[in-house]
Amino acid sequence: MTKTTTLLLACGLLAGCAVGPDYQRPPLALPDRFAPGTLPALAAPAPGATPTADDPPPQRLVPATDVPAEWWRTFHSPALDEWVGAALAHNPNVEAAEAALRVARENAAAENGAFWPSVALNFQPTRQKVSQDVASPVANNATLFNLHTAQVTVSYAPDVFGATRRSVEAANAQSEQQRFQLEASKLALTSNVVVAAITEASLRAQLAATHEIIEEQAAVLRSYQRQQALGQVSAADVDAQVANLAASEATLPPLDKQLAAQRNQLLAMAGRYPADDGPQHFELDAIALPAELPLVLPASLVEHRPDVKAAEAQLQAASAGIGVAVAARLPNVLLGVNAYGSSAYSLGQLFTSSTTFWTLAANVTQPLIDGGTLKHREAAARATFDQSAAQYRATVLQAFQDVANALQALDADTRILRTAATADRTAAKSLQRSRDQLRLGDGSALAVLQAQQAAQQARLNLVQARAARLADTAALFLALGGGWWHVADGDAVAVTH
């Protein structure tokens, strides 16, 4: 072998190119808006109507605005802030995701160890007796002797074709994937806590409204009973009011059941048992509707959604896996000192000139015939990349769908709440008018009963509409990614593009 060939081989061993594709984010033809048409007018009054104090609270979408990291604080509820903090600190699913991230990072650090030589130290003391009929292996012909062997082995596999670099790239990408899955878990948890708190507040408001309705109906029943004694109303009218009161009372147990289940869910998300419940409860009036809603640019959504980032990290790991599979089909080079050591009959003689031994060796292995195993593993790696690319595009589509759903839901919520507020005011006036007419002898008990039922339903519809608007506001924050990127994470491994 000439000096030139030797030099070229050495350069190739030390600076070989990494086989397989260099990862690049797949091109995405992203739209310039999330939903068709213009942004919904979340604070617009009814067409032709003059805004009043009873109108739904205003909301405004602010395009190209970033999402705050602690987005739940925009609801201005200290109780909600405290509960979200407790959930993030004590939820076992978040703890499991944090542990999984530590596992992934340690595995990535372990992969980096392949860039360094492997050194091992071995010491083996033995006492041996050989048969007298067999030649003694020692110089003094003794059949019983001690032997002490100490040796160091050094091996190094140069990354000729980049298999190690691709393995490290895949491990780092998997670590990033786990990091984004942790952020997705936190985002889902905070959103679930906010929605659960809003649902609890809604149920409490529905219970309070139902109790008020029951008290009003009980008062009407007592009035009917007095009027029946005076001959002013019939027994049928009293019976109808009794049935109406009983129907309202029958709605209380299902609401109590839903509230208990919702409360237990909140406690579980905070890492607490149902028996550990405290006096802190959520009320609908204590949860403010955010006046301004951020709306990131469509092109930046792929940078903000943790599930999209996790899917991209998975795609990069699959890309690196192609390089690992290709490198497995190429020559594998191993250099090292197979052994350097000493064997002596006593510890004092170890590593004297006459007891040392050493072996230098190199090994090059080129797979030749393997029944197509390595070929098909490379094909499987390429198919895995295609699968991950399709999953990445599907995740991006889902992200845009979620934002569009949230925006359109908020638009509908605004109109529903406006109609529900009008219906509640109108039903309350109608009920009062029916009662006045009955008292003056110009109405019927049936009309009062119908007005009561309409007012009850209108009041419950208003409570549910307020809660739906709050919940869909939280859904928009969730769809936009939640603002996790504002939290510094110096230990994170960046996914390169």
Q: What is the token pair recorded at 432?
A: 């009062």
CATH number at residue 61: 1.20.1600.10
Whether residue 442 sits in one domain with residue 402? yes
Q: Which residue, among 316, 322, 476, 312, has the nearest Cα to 394 in the 3D structure?
A: 312
* CA dist., res. 253 & res. 258, Å (int): 9
Whether residue 260 sits in one domain with residue 188? yes
Q: What is the pLDDT along the chain (497 residues), one digit of tens a residue?
A: 454 444 434 444 444 578 889 999 988 889 988 888 766 666 545 444 455 555 667 888 888 788 999 999 999 999 999 999 999 999 999 999 999 999 999 999 999 999 999 999 999 999 888 888 888 887 778 888 888 899 998 989 898 899 999 999 999 999 999 999 999 999 999 999 999 999 999 999 999 999 988 998 888 888 888 888 888 778 888 888 899 899 989 999 999 999 999 999 999 999 999 999 888 899 999 999 999 999 888 888 999 999 999 999 999 999 999 999 999 999 988 887 678 889 888 888 888 888 898 888 888 889 999 899 999 999 999 999 999 999 999 999 999 999 999 999 999 998 899 999 999 999 989 888 888 887 777 777 778 778 888 888 899 999 999 999 999 999 999 999 998 988 755 444 334 33
Number of domains in the chain: 2
Q: Is residue 9 part of a domain?
A: no
Q: Is residue 8 part of a domain?
A: no
List of residues 6+ apart from 426 with CB closer than 8 A: 458
The last residue of a domain, from among 313, 345, 365: 365
List of residues 6+ apart from 68 with CB closer than 8 A: 74, 294, 483, 486
What range does the domain containing 359 cover?
117-158+334-365
Order of strands across the sheet that contains 144-156: 118-129, 144-156, 332-344, 356-365
Q: Which residue, among 312, 378, 2, has the nearest Cα to 161 in the 3D structure?
A: 378
Whether residue 123 sits in one domain with residue 105? no
DSSP label at residue 121: E
CATH number at residue 351: 2.20.200.10
Which H/E stretch holds residue 61? strand 60-63
Q: Is residue 13 part of a domain?
A: no
What is the three-state SS of 191-216? HHHHHHHHHHHHHHHHHHHHHHHHHH
**Residue-wise DSSP of 311-352:** HHHHHHHHHHHHHHHHHTTS-EEEEEEEEEEEEESSGGGTT-
Q: What is the token pair recorded at 79?
A: 């109780």
Number of H helices, E strands in the chain: 10, 6
pLDDT computed for residue 495 by the predictor: 40
Which H/E stretch holds residue 218? helix 163-229
pLDDT computed for residue 43 by the predictor: 58
* CA dist., res. 403 & res. 409, Å (int): 10
Q: Which residue, among 325, 320, 313, has the nearest Cα to 391 in the 3D structure?
A: 313
DSSP label at residue 1: -
What is the three-state SS of 358-387? EEEEEEEECCCCCCCHHHHHHHHHHHHHHH
Query: How many C-beta atoms lie closer than 10 Å to residue 128's C-beta?
Result: 12
N- to C-terminal Cα separation, the chain: 42
Query: How many C-beta atoms lie closer than 10 Å to residue 125's C-beta?
Result: 10
Whether residue 224 sits in one domain with residue 97? yes
Whether residue 350 sits in one domain with residue 255? no
pLDDT computed for residue 351 by the predictor: 87
pLDDT computed for residue 260 by the predictor: 95
Whether residue 344 sits in one domain with residue 216? no
Q: Which residue, among 434, 342, 396, 443, has the nearest Cα to 122 in the 3D structure?
A: 342
